[in-house]
Amino acid sequence: MAFRVGQKVVCVDANPRNGHVSNLTEGAVYTVRAFGPSKDGSPGISLDEIYHPFPFYQDRFRPVVERKTDISVFTKMLTGSKVGADA
């Protein structure tokens, strides 16, 4: 998976690996600071929010999907047809 510096990522695997305790929180959102090899040489990423001597494994993360709020459905409800009341 291709990440970029400054990208928001969410942790999907905070379990300890290779006997090392992880200071990640599953479901937490982090910001990619840099790239480099993880402890075993596989691709890794460093995070702005957590200092760690080695980059974390990239497979621990996925990109955050940011959806812009679309309020057009609500504005249509407000500007819909007007119902008249006969008295």
Q: Where are the alpha helices (DSSP H) in 18-83?
A: 72-78
Asked whether residue 81 is assigned to any structural domain, the reply reads no
Asked whether residue 35 is assigned to any structural domain, the reply reads yes
Number of other CB atoms surrounding residue 10 within 10 Å = 15
Asked whether residue 76 is assigned to any structural domain, the reply reads no
List all residues 6 or more positions away from 65 whose beta carbon is below 8 Å from its beta carbon: none
Domain residues for the domain of 14 are: 8-65
The number of angstroms, rounded, from the C-alpha of 35 to the middle of its chain's C-alpha atoms is: 17
Tens digits of per-residue pLDDT, 16-63?
A: 887 777 789 999 999 999 999 988 899 999 999 998 888 999 999 999
Strand partners, 3: none
List all residues 6 or more positions away from 30 whose beta carbon is below 8 Å from its beta carbon: 8, 9, 10, 11, 24, 47, 48, 49, 50, 61
- 79 pLDDT above the threshold of 90: no
Asked whether residue 48 is assigned to any structural domain, the reply reads yes
Asked whether residue 1 is assigned to any structural domain, the reply reads no
Asked whether residue 71 is assigned to any structural domain, the reply reads no
Asked whether residue 53 is assigned to any structural domain, the reply reads yes
**If pLDDT is split at 50, 70 and 90, which confidence band does 12 have?**
very high
Number of domains in the chain: 1
- 86 pLDDT above the threshold of 70: no
Query: What's the full length of the chain, in residues?
Result: 87
Asked whether residue 24 is assigned to any structural domain, the reply reads yes
Query: What percent of the chain is modeled with pLDDT above 70?
Result: 90
Q: Give the pLDDT score at 58.
A: 94
pTM here is 0.72
